[in-house]
Amino acid sequence: MSDDQTSEPERDEATLGRIETEVALLMRLGEATRRATGTAEHRVLDRAAYVILRHLAAAGPQNVSALAARLDLDGSTVTRQVSAMQRDGLIARTPDPSDGRGTVISPTAAGLQRMVAVRAARTRLYGEILGDWTADDRDTLADMLARLNRALEARTRR
């Protein structure tokens, strides 16, 4: 069968296979790029701390349960990460105003400073990697990645 004779279900299956392969490769290369990048700016936060700080900066102070639910992680995992971040001075715990027994977590100035430095370094890195792409191509990639992330997030919320 020639390409123009391929059935739509076969084309869809082939396209979905390509997407799966490219997403797997993206994840592997994204992590490899992060590890291989020589600048210290990329290493001032581990990936988990960066994600937590980005979320807290956007959403505001939260308790561990809300943070774990939003990041789709186990509460004990987030508790360990938050404890390490607190030891490193990246987050602070304060009494929860809505529940005197609990605490809420918020980023410290040092935590926000590191998060901003990592975000800036990553933005520069992607600027270099995508330097020969047109502005329209970069916009399209950003839009499609956002759309994919929304679909993935919706899937995890089922």
**Predicted local distance difference test score (pLDDT) of residue 60:** 93
**Predicted local distance difference test score (pLDDT) of residue 42:** 61
How far is Cα 95 from Cα 100, in angstroms, rounded to an integer?
A: 6
- For residue 107, with 0-12 CB atoms within 10 Å meaning exposed, 13-18 middle and 19 or more buried, which class applies? buried
In Å, how far from its chain's centre is CA 44? Answer: 16
How far is Cα 17 from Cα 109, in angstroms, rounded to an integer?
A: 44
pLDDT in tens, 57-71: 999 999 999 999 888
In the predicted model, residues of the chain with pLDDT beneath 70 are 1-4, 38-43
How far is Cα 52 from Cα 59, in angstroms, rounded to an integer?
A: 10
**Predicted local distance difference test score (pLDDT) of residue 157:** 78
